[in-house]
C-alpha cells in the first residue's frame, strides 16, 4: 500500500470526535478488505478519514474580514472578495431626531386616527413610487470588479 498518513498535530487538550468517524473507518476497512487497500478509492478514503480525524487541529485560526468573525481572529483579505467587501459603504448610523426643533403649533393639535392612517398609506405609496423612479435612473450595467483595477 502506497499511502503515508499526514503527521497529526499534537494538542495539549483532548478534543471530542464525532461518533461517525468510527463508522467511516469500519466501512473503509471492509471495503479495503474486499477490493484491496491499494485501490484508488480506498487510498482517497483513507486520506479523507485521516483528515477528518485531525479536523479539529486543521481548522483555520484566522478568517478573512468578509466572513464577519470576531476582529481578534480576522484579517483584511487582499483577494477580490475581500476588496469588494470593503468597497461596500456601511449603513448610515441612526441619528435620533430628539434635538430637532418642531413647531409647537403642529404638536399641540389633536389629529384624528383616521387621518394618521390615511397619511401613513399615502407616505407608503409615495415611497414605492419614488423608489420606482430612482430605479429608472440607475446604471443597469454594474461591474463590481471595475473598482479593483
Residue 77 near residue 85, CB atoms below 8 Å? yes
Mean pLDDT score, 93-118: 82
Residue among 65, 3, 2, 55 nearest 24 (CA): 55
Residue 64 near residue 80, CB atoms below 8 Å? no
Q: Is residue 14 pLDDT above 70, yes or no?
A: no
Q: Name the burial class of residue 60, with classes exposed (0-12), middle (13-18) and buried (19+) by CB atoms within 10 angstroms of its CB.
A: exposed
Mean pLDDT of the chain: 79
Residue 74 near residue 62, CB atoms below 8 Å? yes
> Measured in whole angstroms, how far is the alpha carbon of residue 128 from the centre of its chain?
30
Mean pLDDT score, 102-117: 87
Residue 53 near residue 17, CB atoms below 8 Å? yes
Q: Which three cell numbers stand for residue 118?
A: 390615511
Give the model's pLDDT for residue 117: 95
Rounded to the nearest 5 percent, the helix, strand and coil shares of the chain are 55, 5, 45
Is the four-CA dihedral 39, 40, 43, 44 of positive or negative sign?
A: negative
Is the four-CA dihedral 15, 18, 23, 28 of positive or negative sign?
A: negative
- Which carries the bigger pLDDT value, residue 12 or residue 129? 129
Amino acid at each position: 500500500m502506497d499511502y503515508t498518513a499526514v503527521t497529526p498535530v499534537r494538542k495539549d487538550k483532548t478534543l471530542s470526535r464525532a461518533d461517525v468517524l468510527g463508522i467511516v473507518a469500519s466501512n473503509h476497512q471492509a471495503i479495503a478488505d474486499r477490493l484491496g487497500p491499494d485501490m484508488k478509492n480506498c487510498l482517497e478514503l483513507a486520506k479523507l478519514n485521516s483528515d477528518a480525524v485531525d479536523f479539529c487541529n486543521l481548522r483555520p485560526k484566522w478568517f478573512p474580514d468578509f466572513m464577519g468573525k470576531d476582529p481578534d481572529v480576522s484579517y483584511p483579505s487582499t483577494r477580490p472578495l475581500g476588496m469588494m467587501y470593503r468597497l461596500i459603504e456601511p449603513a448610515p448610523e441612526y441619528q435620533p431626531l430628539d434635538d430637532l426643533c418642531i413647531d409647537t403649533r403642529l404638536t399641540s393639535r389633536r389629529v384624528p386616527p383616521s387621518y394618521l392612517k390615511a397619511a401613513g398609506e399615502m407616505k407608503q405609496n409615495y415611497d414605492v413610487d419614488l423608489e420606482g423612479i430612482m430605479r429608472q435612473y440607475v446604471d443597469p450595467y454594474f461591474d463590481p470588479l471595475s473598482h479593483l483595477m
